[in-house]
Amino acid sequence: MTHDDLVSARDGDVLELTRGQETELPQALKWQVARADEDYDAALVEARRITVDTTRIASESFPMAVPPEEAERRCRRALMEAWTGRETAAFRLPPSRLGLDPADVVTLQHDGRQSGLRLVSIADAEARGIEAVHQDRAAYDMPPGSPRPSSLLSPVVFGAPEAVLLDLPQLTEDQSAHRPMVAAHAVPWPGEMAVFRSPSTDSFELLTSFGGRARIGNLVSDFHSGPTSRFDLGNTLVVDLLSGTLESVTDLTLFGGANAIAVESAPGIWEIVQAGAAELIAPGRYRLTRLLRGQRGTEAAMANPAPAGTRIVVLDASLASLPIAEADLGLPWNWRIGPASRSFSDETYVAASFTPIGAGLRPFSVVHVEQPWRRPRTPGDLTIRWARRSRALSAASWGAVEVPLIEEVEAYEVEIVDGATNKRTLTTSTPNVIYTGADQTADWGALLGPGDGLDIRIYQLSALIGRGAAKTVTLAF
């Protein structure tokens, strides 16, 4: 094209050329890409101009796999395009030049030289308004960069994980009540853990896999029993975590289930504790106070103090539910847990024997056992009353008139005990039972009277697993 091919504007100008300031252009361009030949590790390439007045350095990162030598060529081309593109042109063409489209390249003769211009935009009106940018064809013929041979990746060595199988009460609505939980910790974390099981010592089958690394730790000092249904302000829970952190929460958040921790007071016996205040006292060591004890019906786990070194598990979304059937409860399965990328026979797998008992199906112990009183219609008979609890998560509502009955039927067993001897077992379908005068005489030789004491154990019954947690009390007359 020459000036004769252009259409002048109303102000008489035929061509407008603009040259950008050099200080606004980059002296160097740095790109970060991924290497497809090195497990997508990062590679850095750079292009730089020497004899320029600017000192700007532009950096960009691209989430795509490109050979480093090709990325270096494209980086040099991009820097060259930025400098040649500092010159732009604006002109008008007659409607007869309708064949031109954006991205076409034209050669314009101006001021004794020929300039290659790439059309950027076209505005069609009485004449075709063109905006173009200068380009250099040599930028697209650059050789690739120096080859960078890929290095062999060092193999990742996984150690045996710290794995814990927990039979806990139901914690969330999306968790089946009868299913146990699994938690695991490993450094380095393999990304995904697999759980295999078998009724024998061979023929293991994959049960499930999970990808969350749990916060597992140990008690630093002994953890003693404490009050339930109110804050335990006397005990302190000091724990060492293998990884992760803990933080203080408000009471409202605490009542919503936050900061729940399972403490293994005895093998397979877990107390669920919640902590309102968490204080970091050393790397990985926390002092937890303002405790809620025996949550979700686990108050019986406080029968013996948990010694120092006892395992603890923070109950959060990193734990996985084991998809077993109710028919699997009570069976002594053999388990293997390890990296999902390895075979279950690999040395990185840990073996465990664990019998799920369906703790989430176990009825909670009863509460508010009243002192016995005699029914006037039958002289000598004693009536023992209590209040029923429910393992349903909705039972925590303060607005309910009565907690829901989640069991198929309401049934109880009451044991009359004398030390280690069970004198008698009474059954009832209501939260009260009558200990008749005839039974008292048969058990003790006479009616119970003032000054006597009576030891009893009360169980609510489940149609699936039988007796729930026991409530042991001594009644005084």
Which CATH number covers residue 410? 2.60.40
- Check pLDDT > 80 for residue 290: yes
Residues 322, 383: one domain? no
Could you tell me if residue 439 is inside a domain? yes
What is the pLDDT, as a whole number, of residue 141?
Answer: 83
How far is residue 107's CA from residue 105's CA, in Å, rounded to a whole number?
Answer: 7
Are residues 218 and 311 both part of a single domain? Answer: yes
For residues 283 and 423, membership in a common domain is answered with no
Domains identified in the chain, total number:
3
Banded pLDDT at 306 (limits 50, 70, 90): very high
In a domain, 157, yes or no: no
- Is residue 199 situated within a structural domain? yes
One domain for residues 252 and 347: yes
Shared domain for 134 and 276, answered yes or no, is no
Convert the pLDDT of each residue in 421-450 to its tens digit: 999 999 999 999 999 989 999 999 999 888
Q: Quick one: average pLDDT of 95-113?
A: 90
Q: Please tell me the predicted confidence (pLDDT) of residue 374.
A: 66
Last residue of a domain, one of 317, 333, 357: 357
Question: What confidence tier does 218 reach under pLDDT thresholds 50, 70, 90?
Answer: very high
Q: Is the pLDDT of residue 155 over 90?
A: no
* DSSP H or E run through 278: strand 269-282
Summarised one tens digit per residue, pLDDT across range 443-471 is 999 998 888 889 999 999 998 889 999 99
Residue 9 belongs to a domain:
yes
368 within a domain of the structure (yes/no): no
364 lies in a domain? no
The domain of 315 spans 162-357
Q: Are 346 and 338 in contact (CB under 8 A)?
A: yes
**149 assigned to some structural domain:** no
At 404 the pLDDT is 86
Query: Model's pTM, two decimal places?
Result: 0.66
pLDDT number for residue 299: 93
Separation of alpha carbons 339 and 341, rounded Å: 5
Last residue of a domain, one of 303, 329, 357: 357
* pLDDT attached to residue 394: 84
46 three-state secondary structure = strand
Half-sphere exposure of residue 168, counting CA atoms within 13 Å on the CB side?
A: 30
In this prediction, residue 159 carries a pLDDT of 82
75 and 39 in a single domain? The answer is yes
Confidence check: pLDDT of 21 > 90: no
Residue bearing the bigger pLDDT, 47 or 477: 47
Q: Can you tell me the mean pLDDT for 25-34?
A: 88
- Which DSSP string do the residues of 110-158 spell out, in sequence order? ETTEEEEEEEEEEEESSSEEEEEEE--GGGGGPPP----PPPPPPPPPP
Q: What is the mean pLDDT of the chain?
A: 90
Predicted local distance difference test score (pLDDT) of residue 376: 55
Residue 227 has pLDDT above 90, yes or no: yes
What is residue 368's three-state secondary structure?
A: coil
Q: Can you tell me the distance from the alpha carbon of 39 to that of 55, in angstroms, rounded to the nearest whole number?
A: 34
| Pair 353, 386 in one domain | no
Q: Say yes or no: 312 and 385 in one domain.
A: no
Residue 329 CA to residue 306 CA, distance in Å, equals 27
Question: Among residues 324, 357, 390, which one ends one of the domains?
Answer: 357
Paired tokens of 201: 């010592």
Mark whether 213 and 333 lie in a shared domain.
Answer: yes
- The verdict on residue 321 lying in a domain is yes
Residues 334 and 445 occupy one common structural domain: no
User: For position 297, what pLDDT does the model report?
Assistant: 92
Domain co-membership, 248 together with 272: yes
User: What is the mean predicted confidence (pLDDT) over 149-172?
Assistant: 82
Same-domain status, 210 and 258: yes
Question: Is the distance from CB of 388 to CB of 431 less than 8 angstroms?
Answer: yes
| Bridge partner residues of 382 (DSSP) | 374, 435
